[in-house]
Structure 1
Amino acid sequence: MGVLNIFFFIFLFVSTAKSDGETYRFLHTFCVQLNALPSGQTFDTLIAAMEDCIEYGTCVGVKKTGEDKYQQLLRLTGYAFCETCTDYYLLDKTGGLTYPNQPNDLEAVILFAIFPIGECPTSFDVDGSLCRGRGSITADICYSYPSYMAPQHDGTNCYVYQKQTVIKSWQ
């Protein structure tokens, strides 16, 4: 239970960025390491990285990669608690939505980042009622998705629940 209380605390710091007159929230995830891929160019300011992230549809956040250097994050698979982590900013794509049975207050933000567009994570295709990973999604990567997505690796492919399946389980 103490871990969940820490999780709630770490997301209290919110940064905002604007694009086309809209304001977007980025949650500074103290003590949490986001399992995501840093990608693309580096930026000299956090705001510049956030504004560019907003324009890139599959960007899930920003990571500080050096002294005054920031980079976009893609393909979030989950997170891990890390006492010394202070370098991650998660883009909140929920539009304020929460669900009565979600695992904790902010898990919806994580879910919407794992599914930045569509019913399946980036690099996954719809396969019946599931999402099937394309390419080289290893078993380690597959099992880094949260347990509520029921990740399964069959030796070749990774399968997870579709976004709406997870949301229905939280309603």
Structure 2
Amino acid sequence: MGILNIFSLLFIGSAFIAQSNAGINRFLPMWCVDLHATPFLIAPYNSTKDAMQACVEFPSCIGFKKTSDSGYLLLHQLTGYVFNETCKDFYLWDKTGGKTFPNQANPYETVILFAIFLYGECPAGFDIEGSLCRGNIDIISEDRCYTFPSYMNPQHDGTSCYVLQKQTVITSWT
């Protein structure tokens, strides 16, 4: 629990800002968190500022990762995260508009949720099926399915990955 309290102070107190034609965009350093995200297969950027500006221009970008002293790769398709006390290399684009919910597990869960559900009620590559989101095995493997946070109730039946819809998660936090 101590790491969560320390992380909360670091998380709330720092953000990197990028300008775009639509306004100001916040990128939050994820100091103690490794993000399960896919890097874009494009050349790395040479500075934090360049990576932020490039991310703002890509609709599916959710943030970026520092890969060397002066190298950054853009990220997309976030599925989840793990705590890692030594990690300082991930930056997540805050697309929450300042929203938080009283019963979310910790201060950054809303930022994670909005990055996973970038386009609507289901993660990228998933379709609405009843009250759930479904992604087939060609899009998301069983191993990757279980990297989604537990509050999304990830399940894999051998051919598809199922997770809760965004609004279902938000409702459980209110």
Query: 1:13: how far off?
Result: 2.2
What is the alpha-carbon distance in structure 2 between the residues aligned to residue 28 and residue 66 of structure 1? 16
Q: Is the 8 A contact 2:125 2:139 kept in 1?
A: no
Query: For 1:75, which of 77, 99, 102 is the aligned residue?
Result: 77
TM-score where L is the length of structure 2:
0.93
The separation in 2 between residues aligned to 1:10 and 1:144, in whole angstroms, is 24
- 2:149 alignment partner, one of 146, 151, 161: 146
Q: CA deviation at 1:67?
A: 2.4
Q: Is the 8 A contact 1:57 1:117 kept in 2?
A: no
Take 2:67 and 2:104, find their aligned partners in 1: how far apart are those partners? 31
CA distance in 1, matches of 2:15, 2:29: 6
Which residue of the partner structure matches residue 61 of structure 1?
63
Q: Partners of 1:132 and 1:7 in 2: how far apart? A: 32
Q: 4+ runs of 1 displaced by more than 4 Å?
A: none
Q: Report the equivalent of 2:25.
A: 24
Residue 107 of structure 1: how far off its partner (Å): 0.8
Tell me the alpha carbon deviations over residues 105-126 of structure 1, each in whole angstroms, 9 at most, x when there is no partner: 2210110011111111111111
Asked if residue 162 in structure 1 is aligned to residue 165 in structure 2, the reply is: yes
Deviates more, 1:69-78 or 1:5-14: 5-14
Which string of whole-angstrom CA distances, capped at 9 and with x for unpartnered residues, describes residues 35-66 of structure 1?
11111321111111111111212111010112
3-state SS of 1:43 partner: coil
Instruction: Structure 1 unaligned segments of length 5 or more: list them.
Output: none
TM-score for the superposition, normalised by structure 1: 0.94
**1:86-119 Cα deviation digits (max 9, x unpaired):** 1110100000001111111221011001111111
Other-structure match for 1:9: 9
Counterpart position of 1:43: 45
Separation in structure 2 between the aligned mates of residue 5 and residue 160 of structure 1, nearest angstrom? 28
CA distance in 2, matches of 1:73, 1:91: 10
Structure 1 residue 21 displacement after superposition? 4.8
Report how many residues are paired: 171
Match of 2:97? 95
Secondary structure class of the residue paired with 2:15: strand
Instruction: Name the aligned partner's letter for residue 17 of structure 1.
Output: A
Give the CA RMSD over aligned residues. Answer: 1.3
Instruction: Quote the Cα distance in structure 2 between the aligned partners of 1:95 and 1:22.
Output: 12
- Aligned equivalents of 1:109, 1:55: Cα separation in 2: 19
Cα distance in 2 between the residues matched to 1:9 and 1:62: 21
